Amino acid sequence: MSHQQDLDITIDQISKIEGHAEIDVKIRSGEVQEVKLKVNENKRFYEQAVRGRPFHTVPQLVSRICGTCSVAHLNCSLEAVEKAVDITISDQSRLFRQLTMDGLMIRDHAMHLYLFSLPDVLGKDSVLDLEGPEKELLHQAFHVKSAGNALSKMILGRAIHGIYSQVGGYSVAPTTEQIQPVIKELRDVRPYVLDLLQIYLDCPFDFRRTTHNVALVSDQYDYLDGMIHSSRGLCVHEEHYGEHLTRVVIPYSQSAGYEFEGMDYMVGALPRMNLNRAALHPHTIRDAKKFISVFPSNNIFHNNLAQGIEILHGIDHALDILEGADFKKEAAVQPAPLPKNTDSTGVAVIEAPRGNLYYMVSIKPDGSIQYANIVTPSAQNQINMEDDLKLLVTEHLDKSKEKITFEMEKLIRAYDPCFSCASHFLKVNWT
Amino acid sequence: MGKKLRVGIFSFTGDEGCVITFVEILNYKIRDWADKVDFVHARVLRNKNDMADIDVSFVEGAIASDKDRRKLLEIRENSKKVVAIGTCAISGAPSNHRNFFDEATREEIRPILQQFQHLEKVQPLNAFVRVDAVVPGCPIIEPTFVKVMENYLKEFGVT
């Protein structure tokens, strides 16, 4: 097999990293000269759009940044706004937020693992093409997704752009009659998740490049609280997270990239599992021992396995809260009067499905937004993904262009950059 | 097995919440639709997609760049019916914030608009092509989507 000497690869519309992305590869004299990951999702300018808006309207607006992880934008913006206006939410509201995160992780990870990545593992183009005994996986896929959806719907009114959540609390509390079917659905799908984990444990995909891991480390693996840890032992309070990030303008990309402490780094389920697995729910630790023992890992494809473990944790954590729960309707906590001469600022960092999400909002004395800064997980992973792609292409120079293309797509899919990303490899142009 | 409805699912500028809601609808409709609907172009579900001879295209998102516009024309040419799903596709909002920015903010974002060939205004689908039906909501109202799909199953004689 001869090495690729001169080759240009363009993968048009790879993925939705919050929409659309492409990859350009340039190989000259058998050496990789250039690998560009170009995010070309059209900007919608949310940071500009929130300026001047009353602070209590911001969460519903920024929820629209991302359809698939709207719940993460909702919860993170709420926390930032609440910190700015000095609101401490009730214990029940805190449980509701944790439940919405569990629901989000179950639904979103299930979508990625069953609909996007599984076809790669099983050698199919689409999960819809599964036949014979494998077809059962298709139905399990939709059942697991549905359970996560039901959990989010119960708390938020709907799974995408939830309506019951507001600054300071929730306008509706679920009744016992509403909770029971959700408990049943979560219990019903739990065995499917263990089967799914086995598939990903058996999967031989392997790509390793040592990189920095960054994740929020919390006592109960709840995605909302805790300190930000790095694999090099750094520990940062969320308020100061922004100071450790460097925004990198990538001229060919519509999304900025980020460096942590001046280095490329990864956020997401794999870093969370590497840094925080001891805090998983005891039932998850009991039943998923052999899967958890794979970590710490620097195999990017173990991001899939980590997501699967988080589905199980989401189920166990949610069942713990819901069994025997008796929620009451509560009034929302009201904000303190805003200071007259100075802006009020709040910072929040939470773990969205694809990694940590950062919000900083600054509110003027009249209650309108002065400034907002939002850093999303897929933007943070952009440089790391590109660096991975460079090494991957180098390692596969003796392979055919089709093989290199497929390996690049597979690698990007393992990151789960944003929902539909996974299957957005529409067309490959060879020039 | 009889004829299947050839369906396309497309996404333009927006948050993809409507396509995601479509995938959530499959949670309870996949068994029913599996024998009736062929998702011939749905990048959320498959890699190999076919743009030719689509019966019904469901399109989410607003049109923000010239690339969006050209792609939308291609979809229209290849589809018997085009359905705008969600408020971005129907009215442009909420992906059209920038249409309402003041002059200073417009100046701030101008370099990005120029660099990536954005259109002067973010527009709904019907600013460029004929739209045969709509599914409103942000994200789409699930029963309305199901109803539109089932109406087309009847109209195209798929049973």
Count the alpha carbons within 13 Å of A209 in the hemisphere toward its beta carbon: 16
pLDDT at position B86 over 50:
yes
Q: Å from A227 to nearest chain B CA? A: 29
- Round to whole Å and give the CA distance between B58 and B10: 6
Q: Report yes or no on A427 lying in a domain.
A: no
Contact A78, B31 (CB under 8 A): no
Residue A297 contacts B, CB cutoff 8 Å: no
Number of domains in chain A: 1
pLDDT at position A420 over 80:
no
Amino acid at A172: V
Residue from B20, B91, B106 to probe the interface with A (highest A Cβ count within 10 Å) = B20
- Give the three-state DSSP class for A208: strand
- Round to whole Å and give the CA distance between A235 and A224: 16
Residue A354 contacts B, CB cutoff 8 Å: no
Structure confidence at residue A425 (pLDDT): 27
Token pair belonging to A56: 């209590």
Instruction: Name every chain B residue with its beta carbon within 8 A of the beta carbon of A64.
Output: 15, 17, 94, 138
Q: Report yes or no on A224 lying in a domain.
A: yes
Nearest to B84 by CA among B65, B100, B63, B53: B63
3-state helix vs strand vs coil in chain A, percent to 5 = 50, 20, 30
- Give the three-state DSSP class for B117: coil
Residue B146 contacts A, CB cutoff 8 Å: no
Beta-carbon separation of A142 and B65 below 8 A: no
Q: Report yes or no on A63 lying in a domain.
A: yes
Residue from B9, B28, B47 to probe the interface with A (highest A Cβ count within 10 Å) = B47
Contact B22, A419 (CB under 8 A): no
Q: Which of residues 126-185 of A touch B (CB under 8 A)?
A: 126-129, 138-139, 142-143, 145-146, 149, 159-161
Instruction: Name every chain B residue with its beta carbon within 8 A of the beta carbon of A45.
Output: 97-98, 101, 109
ipTM associated with this complex: 0.92
Structure confidence at residue A429 (pLDDT): 30
- Round to whole Å and give the CA distance between A40 and A68: 18
Query: Band of the pLDDT at A227, cuts 50, 70, 90?
Result: very high
Q: Report yes or no on A413 lying in a domain.
A: no
Rounded to 5°, the CA angle B113-B119-B120 comes to: 85
Average pLDDT over residues B65-79: 96
pLDDT at position A426 over 80:
no
Q: How many CB atoms lie within 10 A of CB A355?
A: 26
Is this model's pTM higher than 0.80 or not?
yes
- Round to whole Å and give the CA distance between A72 and A103: 11
Q: Report yes or no on A245 lying in a domain.
A: yes
Q: Report yes or no on A179 lying in a domain.
A: yes
Instruction: Name every chain A residue with its beta carbon within 8 A of the beta carbon of B47.
Output: 119, 125-126, 409, 423, 425
Nearest to A407 by CA among A419, A417, A418, A392: A392
Q: Where are the alpha helices (DSSP H) in A20-69?
A: 46-49, 58-62
CATH number where A101 lies: 1.10.645.10
Token pair belonging to B155: 């109209």
Average pLDDT over residues B77-97: 97
Residue A62 contacts B, CB cutoff 8 Å: no
What is the torsional sign of CA B88, B46, A357, A241?
negative
Sheet with strand B54-60: strands edge to edge: B37-42, B5-11, B54-60, B79-85, B133-135
Structure confidence at residue A19 (pLDDT): 58
Q: Which domain holds residue A355?
A: 46-382
CATH number where B82 lies: 3.40.50.700
Beta-carbon separation of B27 and A143 below 8 A: yes
Nearest to B145 by CA among B157, B128, B127, B133: B133
Q: What radius of gyration do chain A's Cα atoms show?
A: 22
Please state which of the ranges A10-14, A187-191, B144-148 shows the lowest mean pLDDT.
Answer: A10-14
**Mean pLDDT over the full length of chain A:** 91
Q: Is A73 exposed, middle or buried (0-12, 13-18, 19+ CB in 10 A)?
A: buried
Structure confidence at residue A18 (pLDDT): 43
- Round to whole Å and give the CA distance between B11 and B63: 10
Q: Report yes or no on A38 lying in a domain.
A: no
Average pLDDT over residues A275-284: 98
Please state which of the ranges A67-76, A96-105, A372-381, B62-71 shows the lowest mean pLDDT.
Answer: A372-381
What does DSSP assign to residue A334? P
Token pair belonging to A203: 């999967």
Rounded to 5°, the CA angle B21-A193-A272 comes to: 85
Q: Å from A194 to nearest chain B CA? A: 20
Q: Which domain holds residue B71?
A: 5-155
Residue B110 contacts A, CB cutoff 8 Å: no
Average pLDDT over residues A232-257: 90
Amino acid at A410: K
Q: Report yes or no on A39 lying in a domain.
A: no
Count of A–B CB contacts within 8 Å?
A: 135
Contact A401, A5 (CB under 8 A): no
Residue B13 contacts A, CB cutoff 8 Å: yes
